[in-house]
């Protein structure tokens, strides 16, 4: 059942990427203070099980080449400016997806002198993917939802 769900998700993703962005979706991963749990789940998207490059998804080194930022970690104050600068450098449409409980709202660290308490306190977020860490299929669902939201915004003329 899980495999069928993931297969359906992947098919929808492939279709949506073509409709909304043309041929491909370029993603820049930003670690804003993660424990690396979310990062490992995210990197599983490139392994032979998920193999998202089949759908035209690629992880890129430069935000200038990225349509989307996948951000992990609670948004530590140490990395606040780095995240702001990465967002500023990203290519339009600058979709930001918060990956994991920390990025969504601070997680176990919460808000403190060292942690902002979620990346939406630093940059605008289009989709939140909860979990500690979220499964790769949940991350795929979050990416798909971000594309759906972008399509809806364009259809509404925004």
Q: How many residues does the chain have?
A: 158
- Can you tell me which of 37, 56, 93, 117 binds ligand SF4, judged by CB under 6 A? 37
Strands 68-72 and 57-59, how do they pair?
A: unpaired
In the complex with ligand SF4, which residue's Cβ is closer, 133 or 142?
Answer: 133
Could you say which of 32, 101, 123, 125 contacts ligand SF4 (CB under 6 A)?
A: 101
* Residue 72 binding ligand SF4, by CB under 6 A: yes
Nearest CA-CA partner of 95 in 43, 21, 41: 21
- Please identify the residue of the shown chain whose CB is closest to the bound ligand SF4: 37
**Beta carbons of 75 and 116 less than 8 angstroms apart:** yes
CB 131 within 8 A of CB 101: yes
Report the interface residues with ligand SF4, using CB under 6 A.
34-35, 37-38, 72-73, 100-102, 107-108, 132-133
């Amino acid at each position: 059942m899980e495999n069928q769900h993931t297969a359906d998700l992947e098919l929808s993703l492939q279709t949506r990427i073509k409709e909304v962005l043309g041929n491909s979706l370029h993603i820049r991963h930003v670690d804003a203070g993660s424990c690396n749990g979310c990062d490992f789940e995210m990197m599983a998207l490139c392994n032979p099980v998920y193999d998202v490059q089949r759908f035209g998804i690629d992880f890129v080194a430069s935000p200038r080449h990225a349509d989307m930022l996948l951000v992990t970690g609670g948004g530590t104050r140490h990395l606040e400016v780095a995240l702001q600068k990465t967002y500023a450098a990203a290519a339009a449409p600058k979709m930001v997806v918060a990956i994991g409980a920390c990025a969504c709202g601070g997680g176990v660290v919460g808000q403190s002198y060292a942690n902002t308490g979620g990346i939406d306190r630093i940059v605008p977020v289009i989709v939140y993917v909860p979990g500690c860490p979220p499964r790769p299929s949940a991350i795929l669902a979050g990416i798909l939802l971000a594309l759906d939201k972008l399509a809806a915004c364009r259809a509404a003329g925004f």
